[in-house]
Chain A
């Protein structure tokens, strides 16, 4: 099974600023996925990150707001840009071909 870590685990940010979330996998993976979980809600897929190509975004999510990097097969970052209180959520990354594993999440609060 893959072990996935995320940094930071939580943060409190001011509106208008940006936060970059890091996701590290302990083995090489082809695809990594980013999800958002708003308070009291289920998980929603933001984008799929494939190493060496642009991320593929789901409807309602755009690259200018959520730029993603995938510099190698074990690492990815998600930036939440120009934040507003509506961006307060838990952001999770995952990876895995058969059994998909998740990181512990980043709890973001925007004031």
Chain B
């Protein structure tokens, strides 16, 4: 079973920041928080991951709370192409599989 909880759906206006929350209250000390997204009919796309520090890359920022029990993925300027299902996954780094929950369906609206 997935170890994360996400809202089933969210809307965001185009050009605004999209903030996607995730709860992972049972996360272990060696588990990372990963975010993936799946645009309709495509394979999941890696976005970002982190252990306890906040992370930023060209796609998004990841904010992890100090107790590591929750995190937020931030898409700073959402576009229509960001409409997708976003998955928050906790995983031990290394050759381990991803366990997908139901994710959050983000709709970016013009």
Interface, chain A (partner B; CB < 8 A): 1, 4, 30-31, 33, 35, 42-45, 48, 90, 92, 94, 97-105, 107
Write the nearest CB–CB distance from A58 to chain B, whole angstroms. 9
Q: Count the B residues whose beta carbon is within 8 Å of the partner chain — how many? A: 19
Asked if A100 meets B43 with Cβ closer than 8 Å, knowing A42-B103, A43-B100, the reply is no
In the complex, identify which listed stretch (B15-23, B70-78, B90-98) lies at the interface while the others stay far away. Answer: B90-98
Q: Is the interface of B mostly helix, strand, loop or mixed?
A: loop
Which single residue of chain B is at the shortest CB-CB distance from A6? Answer: B43
- Apart from A92-B44, A99-B49, A101-B46, list 13 A-B contacts with CB within 8 A: A30-B95, A33-B98, A42-B101, A45-B99, A94-B43, A94-B44, A100-B34, A100-B46, A102-B43, A102-B45, A104-B42, A105-B42, A107-B41
Task: Please list 29 pairs of residues, one from A and one from B, whose beta carbons are closer than 8 Å in the complex, sorted by A's number.
Answer: A1-B46, A30-B95, A31-B95, A42-B100, A42-B103, A43-B98, A43-B100, A44-B100, A45-B97, A45-B98, A90-B41, A92-B43, A92-B44, A94-B43, A94-B98, A97-B95, A98-B49, A98-B93, A98-B94, A99-B46, A99-B49, A100-B46, A100-B98, A101-B46, A102-B43, A102-B44, A103-B43, A104-B42, A105-B43
Complex CA gap A1/B44 in Å reads 14
Contact yes or no, A33 B93, CB < 8 A: no
Q: How many contacts A-B (CB < 8 Å)?
A: 50
Write the nearest CB–CB distance from B48 to chain A, whole angstroms. 9
Asked if A42 meets B97 with Cβ closer than 8 Å, knowing A103-B43, A105-B42, the reply is no
Write the nearest CB–CB distance from B99 to chain A, whole angstroms. 7
- Interface hits, B5-48 → A, CB 8 Å: 34, 41-46
Which single residue of chain B is at the shortest CB-CB distance from A98? Answer: B93
Complex CA gap A31/B87 in Å reads 22
Complex CA gap A103/B46 in Å reads 12
Q: Which residues of A contact B98 (CB under 8 A)?
A: 33, 43, 45, 94, 100
